[in-house]
Chains A and B, each alone.
Chain A
Amino acid sequence: MSAIDTIPTAVQDVSFESSAPSGALELRSVEKIYDVDGKTLQVLQDINLVVRPGEFVTLVGTSGCGKSTILRLVVGLDNQFSGEILLDGRPITGPGPERSIVFQDHRLLPWLTVEQNIALALESTSTPQAERKRLVSDHIGLVGLRGFEKAYPRQLSGGMAQRTAIARGLVTHPELLLLDEPLGALDSLTRSYLQLELLRIWRQQHVSVVMVTHDVEEAVFLSDKIVVLTPRPGRIKKIVSVDLPHPRDRIDPVFGKLRQQVLDYLAVDYSI
Chain B
Amino acid sequence: MSAKTVSLSRLPAVEVVPREPSAPLRPAYHNTAVPPKRTAASVRLRNRSLRIAQYIGLPVAVLLVWTIASRFQLLPATILPSPTTVLGTARDLATGDYGENLFYHLGVSLWRVARGVAIGVPLGLALGLVLGFSPSAESWFGPAFRAFAQIPSITLVPLLMMIFGVDDRLKLFIMAKSCVIPLTLVTAEGIRNIPQHYLEVGAVLRLSRWRQVRHIVIPGALPSIFTGIRQGIAHVWVSLVAVEVLASASGIGYLMTWGRMVFQLDVVLVCVVVIGSIGLLLDSGLSNTEARLLSWRENRK
A binds B: yes
**Residues of chain A within 8 A of B297, CB atoms compared:** 110, 154
A–B pairs, 5, beta carbons within 8 Å: A77-B200, A109-B198, A111-B219, A111-B294, A124-B206
B15 within 8 A of A: no
Instruction: Tell me the bound Cα distance from A107 to B200 in angstroms.
Output: 9
Whether B296 and A110, one on each chain, are in contact in the complex, defined by CB atoms closer than 8 angstroms, is yes
A91 within 8 A of B: no
Whether B207 and A123, one on each chain, are in contact in the complex, defined by CB atoms closer than 8 angstroms, is yes
**Residues of chain B within 8 A of A95, CB atoms compared:** 203-206
Whether A107 and B205, one on each chain, are in contact in the complex, defined by CB atoms closer than 8 angstroms, is no
- Beyond A107-B198, A112-B215, 10 extra complex contacts between A and B, CB < 8 Å: A77-B204, A105-B197, A109-B198, A109-B215, A112-B296, A120-B207, A120-B215, A123-B205, A123-B207, A124-B206
B149 within 8 A of A: no
A107-B197, A152-B296 are known contacts. Are A124 and B203 too (CB-CB below 8 A)? Answer: no
Whether B296 and A124, one on each chain, are in contact in the complex, defined by CB atoms closer than 8 angstroms, is no
Closest CB in chain A relative to B290 CB, distance in Å: 13
A258 within 8 A of B: no
Whether A109 and B216, one on each chain, are in contact in the complex, defined by CB atoms closer than 8 angstroms, is yes
Q: B-facing mask of A123-150, CB < 8 A → 1, else 0?
A: 1100000000000000000000000000
Whether A124 and B208, one on each chain, are in contact in the complex, defined by CB atoms closer than 8 angstroms, is yes
**Residues of chain A within 8 A of B220, CB atoms compared:** 109, 111
Q: Top 5 A-B pairs ranked by shortest CB distance?
A: A111-B219, A111-B296, A124-B206, A152-B296, A107-B201
Interface size on B, residues (CB 8 A): 20
**Residues of chain B within 8 A of A152, CB atoms compared:** 296
Closest CB in chain A relative to B184 CB, distance in Å: 23
- Which residues in window 76-128 of B have CB below 8 A to A? none
* CB nearest neighbor in A for B208: A124
Instruction: Tell me the bound Cα distance from A110 to B216 in angstroms.
Output: 10
Chain A interface SS verdict (over half) = loop
Q: B-facing mask of A74-107, CB < 8 A → 1, else 0?
A: 0111000000000000000001110011010101
A121 within 8 A of B: yes
Whether A120 and B205, one on each chain, are in contact in the complex, defined by CB atoms closer than 8 angstroms, is yes
Closest CB in chain A relative to B227 CB, distance in Å: 16
B169 within 8 A of A: no
Whether A75 and B219, one on each chain, are in contact in the complex, defined by CB atoms closer than 8 angstroms, is no
Whether A75 and B204, one on each chain, are in contact in the complex, defined by CB atoms closer than 8 angstroms, is yes
**Residues of chain A within 8 A of B260, CB atoms compared:** none
- Which residues in window 196-245 of A have CB below 8 A to B? none
Whether A154 and B296, one on each chain, are in contact in the complex, defined by CB atoms closer than 8 angstroms, is yes
* CB nearest neighbor in B for A96: B206
Chain B interface SS verdict (over half) = helix
Interface size on A, residues (CB 8 A): 21
Whether B296 and A97, one on each chain, are in contact in the complex, defined by CB atoms closer than 8 angstroms, is no
B298 within 8 A of A: yes
**Residues of chain B within 8 A of A112, CB atoms compared:** 215, 219, 296
Instruction: Tell me the bound Cα distance from A95 to B208 in angstroms.
Output: 12
Closest CB in chain B relative to A205 CB, distance in Å: 18
Instruction: Tell me the bound Cα distance from A110 to B222 in angstroms.
Output: 12
The residue in B203, B207, B219, B296 that gathers the most chain A C-beta atoms within 10 A of its C-beta is: B296
**Residues of chain A within 8 A of B48, CB atoms compared:** none
Whether B296 and A123, one on each chain, are in contact in the complex, defined by CB atoms closer than 8 angstroms, is no
* CB nearest neighbor in A for B206: A124
Instruction: Tell me the bound Cα distance from A75 to B202 in angstroms.
Output: 13
B71 within 8 A of A: no
Whether A124 and B201, one on each chain, are in contact in the complex, defined by CB atoms closer than 8 angstroms, is no
Instruction: Tell me the bound Cα distance from A100 to B203 in angstroms.
Output: 11
B211 within 8 A of A: yes
* CB nearest neighbor in B for A113: B296
Instruction: Tell me the bound Cα distance from A53 to B298 in angstroms.
Output: 42
Closest CB in chain B relative to A114 CB, distance in Å: 12
**Residues of chain A within 8 A of B219, CB atoms compared:** 109, 111-112
**Residues of chain B within 8 A of A111, CB atoms compared:** 219-220, 222, 294, 296
**Residues of chain B within 8 A of A123, CB atoms compared:** 205, 207, 211, 215
Whether A124 and B207, one on each chain, are in contact in the complex, defined by CB atoms closer than 8 angstroms, is yes
